[in-house]
Amino acid sequence: MHWIDPDSLPAVTGVLERFVLNPHGEVDGFVMRASDEDVLVHTPPHMETELTRHIKAGDTVGVHAVRPRGAALLSAVAVTGANGRRIIDHGPDEAREHPNHKAHKRDADGTVRLSLFGPKGELRGALLTDGTVVRIGPKEATEIAELLAPKATLAVRGDGIDTRFGRVIHAREAGPSLKEITPLKHGKPEPKHGPGPKHGSKHKHGRKHGPKHDHAHA
């Protein structure tokens, strides 16, 4: 549940163009046209059922949302459909599970239409002009931010899911073209071992030097 009262936020009105998918194939936002510009709206996946039941492409919708710093994004607290139905973020159902979509190895290349962001404004992928949604982990996305910027040329290969709302590819490789893609670095980097003293080494007088090693825990 979002702790912000939606009525305390100004409403942004626009025409819904298309839904946006997360790597699991769930709807987690949409693109709408407002004031002659494309606006990316993030909605949590647990709102998918209500959203897709009450709003559709071509509808005029109102969005009460917060705007994260440094990101072209509205993070929705509530969405009002053309029929007046207000859909509020009440939080996920504890029993909710990801949909069982079957993923296939897919590649895509094209021009970036919009950068995609997470709810706090973290870069998380791109929407291509052909409608393909590309999703990338936040650390990896930061490393290739220039490829995810609007009007950039992007090519990816990874796990693809097709749904009634479009296609999403969770990228494992990326580059400026399919001939130049390289693997993305998923996960934490290997620790770098410095030239410090070896554990278990014997000291001349059997003394313990200083406190125990203070290792950082991941």
Residue 105's pLDDT band (cuts 50, 70, 90): very high
Report which of residues 204 and 170 the model is more confident about.
170
pLDDT at 59 (0 to 100): 96
Please check whether residue 152 is in contact with residue 167, taking contact to mean a CB–CB distance below 8 angstroms: no
- Alpha-carbon dihedral angle through residues 80, 85, 90, 91, given to the nearest 10 degrees: -70
Closest CA to 161 of 137, 185, 181, 132: 132
Closest CA to 22 of 166, 156, 141, 143: 166
Strand partners, 170: 135, 159
User: Which pair of structure tokens corresponds to residue 119?
Assistant: 């709810």
Q: What is the pLDDT averaged over residues 78-89?
A: 93
For residues 18 and 207, what is the distance between their CA atoms, to the nearest angstrom?
Answer: 69
Instruction: Report whether CATH 3.40.50.20 matches the domain 6-88.
Output: no
pLDDT at 41 (0 to 100): 98
Residue 182 CA, distance from chain mean position: 21
pLDDT at 128 (0 to 100): 98
Delimit the CATH 2.40.50.140 region(s) of the chain: 6-88, 104-183
Query: Which CATH fold topology does 104-183 show?
Result: OB fold (Dihydrolipoamide Acetyltransferase, E2P) (2.40.50)
Q: What is the share, in percent, of the chain residues with pLDDT greater than 70?
A: 82
Look-up of token digits 């930061």: 142
Strand partners, 168: 133, 161
| pTM summary value | 0.81
pLDDT at 186 (0 to 100): 59
pLDDT at 98 (0 to 100): 74
